[in-house]
Amino acid sequence: MENIQEMADNFDSKLMNWLDFSEINQLDPALSGYPDKKVYHEDTFEVTVVLEQQKCVERLNARIFFNGEYSNPTNVSMEITSEKDLFFCYQFDLKDDEWCAFAAGQKLKIEFNKLCGLLKKMLGQVGKPDKQ
């Protein structure tokens, strides 16, 4: 008769063979709704929040996405999430036909097809976490 550990290992092995992980990368909720949405850049950075004279360091994750071709995207979006707060999610989504009004309102002088690179550069200037 098998001991309990052997039975557990046997069950784990059968379970892992039964589960299908082939499409796990396609299950990312940030990629849903846009069949051609691609991840352009992922980054992690730290911000210091001061509340009532107490400092708190918050580690945030940012991802930049685009639709269409990189040289001529039809949509650019960015998502910022927190490692500590699962309910924190900032999302920014902008389509190419909305860009002129947005850029004029913000006094931006950059073309829409350069927006991914600009967002990546801006994220690169935010505080980086200490390597442990």
The reported pLDDT for the residue numbered 49 is 80
The reported pLDDT for the residue numbered 98 is 93
The reported pLDDT for the residue numbered 80 is 92
Residue 36 has pLDDT above 80, yes or no: no
Strand ranges inside the chain, DSSP E:
37-51, 54-69, 72-82, 89-95
What is the tens place of the pLDDT at every residue in 43-101? 888 888 888 888 888 889 999 988 888 888 999 999 999 888 888 889 989 999 999 99
CB-CB contact of 66 with 73 (8 Å): yes
As a whole number, mean pLDDT of residues 18-42 equals: 66
Spell out the domains of the chain, with CATH numbers in brackets: 35-132 (2.170.210.20)
φ/ψ of 3, rounded to 5, equals -80, 170
What is the tens place of the pLDDT at every residue in 91-120? 989 999 999 999 999 998 999 999 988 888
105 SS3 class: helix
